Amino acid sequence: MTALVFENVRLIDPASGLDAPGRLLTENGRISGIDKAGTEGIPENATIIDGKGAILCPGLIDMRVEIGEPGHEYRETVNSASRAAFAGGVTSVAVLPTGTPPIDDPAMIRLLRSRGGDPDAVTLHPYGAITKGCSGEALAEIGLLAEAGAVAFTDGNRAIGPTRLMRQALTYARAFDAMIVQHPEDPSLAGAGCATDGELAIRLGLPGIPTAAEAIMIARDIRLAELTKGRLHFGHVSTGEGLSLIRAAKERGLAITCDTAPHYFDLNENAIGDFRTYAKFSPPLRSESDRQAVCAALADGTIDAIASDHTPRDADDKRLPFAQAAAGGTGLCTLLAVTLTRVHDGTLTLPEALALLTSRPAELLKLESGTLATGARADLCMFDPERIWQVRAGELPGRSQNTPFDGRALEGRVLGTWKAGIQVFGAAA
């Protein structure tokens, strides 16, 4: 394997606090040196890559991704998702278990992990289902799934509604030091709603979901986590009230963490105007005050990670009346650029933003990636934070095109992505 030398780059490694100009050397798919002076110690056959002042950071880790395979390959496959991920600087993804069949069997965990080991595929870290079939009725074999390599446990966009069942899940998972990831929405209160309850939903004639549905579920599960001493993580938190509860729980020292998705800090409910189904999500887009609360929680550290919430949908899934259309949007290739909007407006520093996309998700999922440490696998992302590009649905890498950012000009473009020292995206890929 050819050795690589990245020079004339700004190295940012949130895991170690590194943020400085320098050079980086990779050999045999691993990082072998940082900031080497001169040419001493560099192999004669090394390929020199001039970054021309670009940022070089660890490959991004997306901790909330749905792929169509198995069962819905018409929406997305591992290969098509990999193309989208690499174009966005993402080298590792945590795969939700809600496929067909669901990931509630150790064999499915092993299959996806092996698929992610292919040189031209993004690294796959499967979640295990909390309940059999993600049905919310009986616990899956958490111990066997953990042994097979499940990084955490969730039922995806299906909340664990029964309180006793959630208590059991937290208790059993604790025995394996496993994390439970909850969709924070009370299902009985959310019902068949598809938009945030309020003036806009009433005006559009859409069934609403009160924001209290998120806060009620978060409050209940925080109490259960305190009771069981289990590790609890809330996915795609979207309301100020929910974040206030999580902030208070953290201040009390509970093992509570959370993530959010770019659409919750960049868009508000007005994006669904004219019944725009590409902006239909679960949970739904919120008010502007909630969007601002998410931004504030990013700034003060309440939010531990940013995940794309990548949910591929076929055009026919979205070409339906708003209430019947499938929820979800593609997000792998826009994850970095939309996150950088909060850097450009001063909400986050660049190292803080990258920590939410690299070292923090690695820590939460107990992955060895997400760092530029010597000896680490050379999963790398090079990007220009100021280069502008336009999102165009129909022209995005990968099969899925249902982006809520269609037509948007974004500042921040990935120039190259490397997995284990092999370039998988970029001009020379």
Give CA–CA dist 313/75, Å, rounded: 5
Query: Is 309 in the active site?
Result: yes
Query: 266 — phi, psi (to 5°)?
Result: -115, -25
Q: What is the DSSP letter of 405?
A: T
Query: 84 — phi, psi (to 5°)?
Result: -65, -40
Give CA–CA dist 405/329, Å, rounded: 9
Question: 29 is written with which tokens?
Answer: 């798919």
Q: Which of 184, 190, 187, 209 is nearest to 198 (CA)?
A: 209
CA triplet 116, 120, 121: central angle to 5 degrees? Answer: 30
The single residue of 221, 259, 309, 406 carrying the catalytic annotation is 309
Q: What is the DSSP string of 22-74?
A: EEEEEETTEEEEES--TTTT--TTPEEEE-TT-EEEEPEEEEEE---TTT-TT
Q: In this structure, is the dihedral angle defined by the CA atoms of residues 108, 109, 110 and 116, taken in order, positive or negative?
A: positive
Q: Please give the torsion angle defined by the CA atoms of residues 99, 105, 106 and 111, in that order, rounded to the nearest 10 degrees.
A: -40
> Which positions are annotated as active-site residues?
309
